[in-house]
Amino acid sequence: MAVQHNDNAKFLVGIYDDDDVVLKAVKEVKNAGVRIHEVYSPFPIHGLDVALGHPRTRIGIAAFLFGLTGFLCMVALTVYTMGYDWPMIIGGKDPYSLPAYIPVMFEFTVLFTALGMVGTFLVSNGLGPTVKPLMFDLRSTDNKFVMAIDLNKNKLSETEIATVLRTSGAAEVNVKQF
């Protein structure tokens, strides 16, 4: 996610007023041959990631594996403690009475899935308490939709891209240097 901090990182920033407009604009800007760095919005816009061509997330696989790990951990713990290390007959059941351990196995599965998945999400998106976000416009967490275009990664000139952005419905077009 993070943009490399070199001295001449220079962005054109299109500010949109409307979520429906920005969704259409993404297609227009892309059709005009402009590479979009990212679009920032105050709330998720349905279909935006598809329009931008972001690949589908594979975080679900990670979640499944974490869940499986949690499940196996608890299977191991109950097998070891109740069935092997100190077997006891409780309530007339076998020392290892599987149905009675299903509740804890379930809890551990959920716990590992949740924590593991959220951890993966934070790491893969570069989020954390000490992270300084790159904000192209502070209003993008309030009411504006912000399309950022990395000038160094585009062949078109600044003026040409600015025109594309304006035609696609941007209310403002700004320059942002880091």
Partner 1 sequence: MHVTSSVRTPLVTGGKTYADVTEDICRQVEGKPTREWTIAFAISFIVLIYGTACVFWTWWEGLGVWGLNKTVGWAWDITNFVWWVGIGHAGTLISAILLLFRMKYRTSINRAAEAMTIFAVLCAASFILMHMGRPWLAYWALPLPNTFGSLWVNFNSPLVWDVFAISTYFTVSLVFWYMGLVPDLATIRDRATNKVSRYIYGTLSLGWNGGAKTWARYEYISLILAGISTPLVLSVHTIVSFDFATSVIPGWHTTIFPPYFVAGAIFSGFAMVQNLMLITRVVFKLEDYITFEHIESMNKIITLTGSIVGVAYITEFFIAWYSGVEYEGYAFLNRMTGPYWWAYWAMMTCNVISPQLFWSRRIRRSIVWTFVLSVVVNIGMWFERFVIIVTSLHRDYLPSSWAMFSPTIFDISDYIFSFGLFFTLFLLFAKFLPVINMFEVKAIIRSSSEKLPASVSGVAKGERVANPTFNKNAE
Partner 2 sequence: MASIHSIPSVEEQYEFTAESKRKLTIGIIAGVVLVGLGAFLAAKGIGSHEHVEAAHGGAQSAEGHHAYKWTTRLWANVWLNSVYFTGAAVTGMFWLAYNYLAQAGWSAVFKRVPEALPAFLPVTGILMLITFFVAGHDLFHWTHAELFDKNSPEYDPIIAGKRGFLNTPFFLIRLVIYFAAWYGLWRLLRNFSLREDLEGGTEYYEKSIKFGTAFLVIFAVTSSTSAWDFVMSMDTHWFSTMFGWYTLASWHVTGLAIITLVVVSLKEQGYLKAVNASHLHDLGKFMFAFSIFWAYVWFAQFMLIYYANLPEETIYYRERFTGHGGIYQAPFFVNLFMCFFFPFLVLMTRDAKRTPIVLKIACWGIIIGHYFDFYENIMPAAVGEHGGFGPIEFGMILIFACAFIWSVSTQLTKGNLIPRNHPMLEESLHHDI
- The residues binding partner 2 (CB under 8 A) are 46-47, 50-51, 60, 64, 91-92, 99-100, 102
Q: Find the DSSP H helices in the chain.
A: 19-31, 48-52, 59-78, 102-124, 158-167
Burial of 136 per CB tally in 10 Å (0-12, 13-18, 19+): buried
Rounded CA-CA distance 95/147 in Å is 62
Q: Could you tell me the smallest distance in angstroms from the CB atom of residue 89 to partner 1?
A: 10
Q: Based on CB atoms, which residue is closest to partner 2, 63 or 170?
A: 63
State which of residues 65, 71, 73, 158 lies at the interface with partner 1 (CB under 8 A). 158
Q: Could you tell me the smallest distance in angstroms from the CB atom of residue 7 to partner 1?
A: 16
Q: Which residues are CB-contacts of 97 (< 8 A; sequence separation ≥ 6)?
A: 82, 90, 91
User: CB neighbours (10 Å) of residue 46?
Assistant: 8
Please give the residues from 95 up to 154 whose contact with partner 1 meets the rule CB under 8 A: 97, 100-101, 103-104, 106-108, 110-111, 113-115, 117-118, 121-122, 124-135, 137-144
Please give the residues from 7 up to 66 whose contact with partner 1 meets the rule CB under 8 A: 12-13, 17-20, 38-45, 48-49, 52, 54, 57, 59-60, 63
